[in-house]
Amino acid sequence: MREIRPRQLKQYLQEQDRPPLLLDVREPWEFEICHLEDSTLIPMRDIPDALAEGLIDPEQTIAVICHHGIRSRQVGLYLQHFGYRDVINLAGGVEAWARELDLSMPTY
């Protein structure tokens, strides 16, 4: 699993023909406060069901996002355990994104 900072993820997103799945694993109330554009919310507790239902494409690059990068790292490792090969963890999470890239993004 790759660990990348917000600036690196932003650049990566701009360079891709097929954007990765931006998988936000926070709680709905957190997602309502702030989230990355085009991200998909699947709370951490729902990831096993999402995998069982085939909601996450194992062939797609997945950038996992949370508040500070801890839950997303755990989900990334979980995905790798189930054979997902191209997983990125947003180190620092949306908090770092707000501090480093988007000062207008609400924080909590």
At residue 83, the pLDDT reads: 95
Alpha-carbon gap, residue 25 to 12, rounded angstroms: 20
For the chain, domains (ranges, CATH) are: 2-100 (3.40.250.10)
At residue 2, the pLDDT reads: 96
Alpha-carbon gap, residue 71 to 25, rounded angstroms: 7
Question: Of the residues 23, 34, 64, 66, which is catalytic?
Answer: 66
Residue 3 forms beta bridges with which residues? Answer: 89
Q: 27-45, pLDDT tens digit by residue?
A: 999 999 999 999 999 999 9
Tell me which residues of the chain have a pLDDT lower than 70: none
At residue 66, the pLDDT reads: 98
pTM (2 d.p.): 0.96
At residue 46, the pLDDT reads: 98
Q: What is the DSSP string of 1-63?
A: -EEE-HHHHHHHHHH-SSPPEEEE-S-HHHHHH---TT-EE--GGGHHHHHHTT-S-TTS-EE
Q: 72-84, pLDDT tens digit by residue?
A: 999 999 999 999 9
At residue 9, the pLDDT reads: 97
66 catalytic? Reply is yes
